[in-house]
Amino acid sequence: MRVVIGSDHAGFDLKETIKALLERLGVPYEDVGADSTSSSDYPDFADAAARAILAGRADRGILVCGTGIGMVIAANKIRGIRAALAWNEATARLGRAHNDANIMTLGGRTTPRGDVEGILRAFLTTEYEGGRHDGRLAKITRLERKDT
pTM for the full predicted model: 0.96
**What domains can you pick out in the chain, each with its CATH number?**
3-145 (3.40.1400.10)
Separation of alpha carbons 18 and 24, rounded Å: 10
Give the strand order in the sheet containing 3-7.
Answer: 29-31, 3-7, 60-65, 103-107, 83-85
Closest residue by Cα to residue 9 from 59, 76, 52, 65? 65
Residues marked active site are found at: 65, 98
Contact 137, 129 (CB under 8 A): no
Q: How many CA atoms lie within 13 A of 146 on its CB side?
A: 7
Per-residue pLDDT of the chain (148 residues; tens, 9 = 90+): 999 999 999 999 999 999 999 999 999 999 999 999 999 999 999 999 999 999 999 999 999 999 999 999 999 999 999 999 999 999 999 999 999 999 999 999 999 999 999 999 999 999 999 999 999 999 988 888 766 5
Separation of alpha carbons 89 and 62, rounded Å: 14
Query: What integer pLDDT is reported at residue 144 of this predicted model?
Result: 80
Query: What integer pLDDT is reported at residue 148 of this predicted model?
Result: 54
